[in-house]
């Protein structure tokens, strides 16, 4: 059934001349590895730049580090994303990817050029917003306003959630809410070394697999690119941190994961249940669980939603006697289990539930 679904999508989206050669699966591994190496290789450069710019997380009452830590994670992850893309463009221009693969890549980029341009602009915008916030501590209203403008721009250029609803205004509202929620949810999880980075790596990787199964090679490549960029930074963020994500990194990370949740087509109308469209909720399930917990906690105790504290799920585990590293690993595992459970939705076939009288 999965193979039939992939063929249906390919025949509908791509002309026969372009689909003459399938996108090679081994290239996904190369994309992941290239992004990871680029990200890891840029750590020293960006941490030195961050120190020179004063882009540092100072020790404080809610922090365990005794010395200032560079807030360079956003710049490091961005390097992991852009360096492989630049390399791939060079290979395409000198025809080293092969005619079929170049045709696939060129066709996909042309079809999504406006979307991709807006998505990249949004990513850069959130990165800059986060850097300014890390330097000057912007107000919650200012940050949320800019986030809203970026989410709206992304939605208006065609990247939106439909959920089988004909009303465009509802689709726009849900998409904007999705992006804003994940940008801030991942920012909330950036409260212990490696937690946000690890959760995002898992989500990006699972999104990449979901996109690769039906042949959405461009979206799948983006998923593995993001996963690789985050994975390359993770060893420098956990267990001991040479650099933090900062608001620039956590905002960027949440935005990238939100976009990955929108781009794939989860429902292909080949014996699938429409419930498959809730897959993104499971893939980011651990992050959403923490956000629901902390929002409910702050509302119950009448505390401002936008002021950080030490009452997240990770902190609750530490209060139960686990170390911070153990707490982070436990939340990674829980998040991974919830994310992987999303694949079970692909095997729900409503046609099998029909009685003989129903045909």
In DSSP notation, 248-310 reads HHHHHHHHHHHHHHHSS----SSS--GGGGGHHHHHTHHHHHHHHHHHHHHHHTT--TTS--S
| C-alpha distances out from residue 11 to 14, 214, 245, Å | 6, 11, 41
User: Which structure tokens are listed for 1?
Assistant: 């059934």
Bridge partners (DSSP) listed for residue 56: 70
pTM beyond 0.75: yes
- Decide: 265 and 214 in contact? Cβ < 8 Å: yes
DSSP type of residue 75: H
- Decide: 149 and 185 in contact? Cβ < 8 Å: no
Rounded CA-CA distance 181/171 in Å is 15
- Sequence-distant (≥ 6) Cβ neighbours of residue 301 within 8 angstroms: none
| C-alpha distances out from residue 188 to 4, 23, 151, 359, Å | 41, 37, 18, 50
Per-residue pLDDT at 104: 52
| C-alpha distances out from residue 4 to 17, 101, 104, 218, 344, Å | 20, 22, 20, 20, 18
Rounded CA-CA distance 188/312 in Å is 8
- Decide: 332 and 199 in contact? Cβ < 8 Å: yes
| C-alpha distances out from residue 261 to 2, 20, 73, 199, 270, Å | 20, 28, 22, 14, 21
User: Which structure tokens are listed for 69?
Assistant: 């830590």
pLDDT in tens, the chain (359 residues): 333 333 333 333 333 333 334 678 888 999 999 999 999 999 999 999 999 999 998 876 555 656 899 999 999 999 999 999 888 777 666 555 555 555 555 555 555 666 777 888 999 999 999 999 999 989 989 999 999 999 999 998 878 887 766 678 888 999 999 999 999 999 999 999 999 999 999 999 999 999 998 888 888 999 999 999 999 999 999 999 999 999 999 999 999 999 999 987 766 555 556 788 889 999 999 999 999 999 999 999 888 887 878 899 999 999 999 999 999 999 999 999 999 999 988 776 554 444 334 33
Q: How far apart are the first and last CA of the chain?
A: 19
Rounded CA-CA distance 196/96 in Å is 37
Per-residue pLDDT at 19: 36
> What is the separation of C-alpha 329 from the centre of its chain, rounded to a whole number of angstroms?
19
Rounded CA-CA distance 124/132 in Å is 12
């Amino acid at each position: 059934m999965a193979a039939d679904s992939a063929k249906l999508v390919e025949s509908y989206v791509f002309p026969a001349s372009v689909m003459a050669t399938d996108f090679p699966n081994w290239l996904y591994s190369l994309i992941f590895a290239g992004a990871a190496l680029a990200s890891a290789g840029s750590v020293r450069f960006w941490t030195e730049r961050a120190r020179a710019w004063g882009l540092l997380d100072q020790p404080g009452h809610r922090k365990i580090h005794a010395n200032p830590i560079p807030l360079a994670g956003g710049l490091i992850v961005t390097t992991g994303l852009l360096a492989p893309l630049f390399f791939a463009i060079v290979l395409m221009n000198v025809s080293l990817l092969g005619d079929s693969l170049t045709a696939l890549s060129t066709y996909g980029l042309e079809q999504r050029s406006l979307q991709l341009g807006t998505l990249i602009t949004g990513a850069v915008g959130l990165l800059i917003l986060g850097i300014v916030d890390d330097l000057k501590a912007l107000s919650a209203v200012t940050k949320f306003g800019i986030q809203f403008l970026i989410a709206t721009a992304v939605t208006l250029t065609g990247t939106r959630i439909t959920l089988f609803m004909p009303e465009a205004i509802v689709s726009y509202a849900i998409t904007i809410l999705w992006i804003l929620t994940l940008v801030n949810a991942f920012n909330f999880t950036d409260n212990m070394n490696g937690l946000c980075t690890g959760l995002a790596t898992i989500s990006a990787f699972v999104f990449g697999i979901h996109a690769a199964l039906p042949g959405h090679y461009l979206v799948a490549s983006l998923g593995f690119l993001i996963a690789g960029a985050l994975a390359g930074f993770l060893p420098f963020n956990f267990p001991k941190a040479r650099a933090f994500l900062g608001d620039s990194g956590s905002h960027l990370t949440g935005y990238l994961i939100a976009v990955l949740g929108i781009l794939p087509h989860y429902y292909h109308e080949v014996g699938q249940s429409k419930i498959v469209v809730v897959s993104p909720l499971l893939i980011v399930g651990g992050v959403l669980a923490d956000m629901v917990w902390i929002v409910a906690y702050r509302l119950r105790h009448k505390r401002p939603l936008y002021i950080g504290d030490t009452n997240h799920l990770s902190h609750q585990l530490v209060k139960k006697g686990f170390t911070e590293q153990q707490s982070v690993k436990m939340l990674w595992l829980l998040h991974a289990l919830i994310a992987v459970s999303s694949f079970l939705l692909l095997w729900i076939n409503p046609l099998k539930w029909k009685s003989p009288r129903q045909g």
